[in-house]
Amino acid sequence: MNATLSLDEDSGLLFDDGSGEPIFDTSGDLSEPVRKVWSFLSATAESLLALEAACRVLAEVGVVVPWPITLQGTDGTHTVSGLFQIDEAALNALDDEAFGRLRRAGVLGVAYAQLLSMGNLADLGKLAQARAEFEAAERARAEVKPMMTLPDDSTIDWDWSKVGKT
């Protein structure tokens, strides 16, 4: 894989005054923090390529199908399109040659992981709902007016003789 590390000079994150983390070390190589980011991005890109290859093999044997999802939110239902899932019945019905192809390609783990993760979709919806409710409660709490306010000059009259008198 041939890749290039690029920096957005207009990001506001690059400084000429020597502050922040250096991009290069004194020998002209990538500094340790940048090298760690580069390693992470490289590993992510390699994983993406492997996942794309796995999905291609799964699609070629006919076990990938559209996955229409409808999520219930506080503002109604939302349909998510463009997602795909493994058709478990089609996977189980594969002949030995096609199943062997998946095994040899090392993609059965991807198929089974996707099938197992589908059970988490309801939990994901519940978590999203709980988060929305929490954020709404936080907004409401921030809008609560105090029951007692101080005078504009921030003084308190401690004359207890006035308490209880009208």
Structure tokens given for 112: 């089974």
pLDDT at res. 45:
93
Q: Name the token pair of 104.
A: 């040899």
pLDDT digit string, tens, across residues 23-53: 889 999 999 999 999 999 999 999 999 999 9
C-alpha torsion sign, points 48, 50, 53, 59: negative
62 close to 84: Cβ distance less than 8 angstroms: no
How is residue 39 annotated by DSSP? H
First to last CA, the chain: 84
Q: CB within 8 A of 8, min separation 6: which ones?
A: none
* Of 84, 30, 31, residue with least CA distance to 62: 84
pLDDT band at 101 (very low <50, low <70, confident <90, very high): very high
pLDDT in the model for residue 68: 86
Per residue in 49-78, pLDDT (tens digit) is 999 999 999 999 999 999 988 877 667 788
Domain boundaries, the chain: 32-143
pTM over 0.75: no
Hey, which residues does 49 pair with through a beta bridge?
none
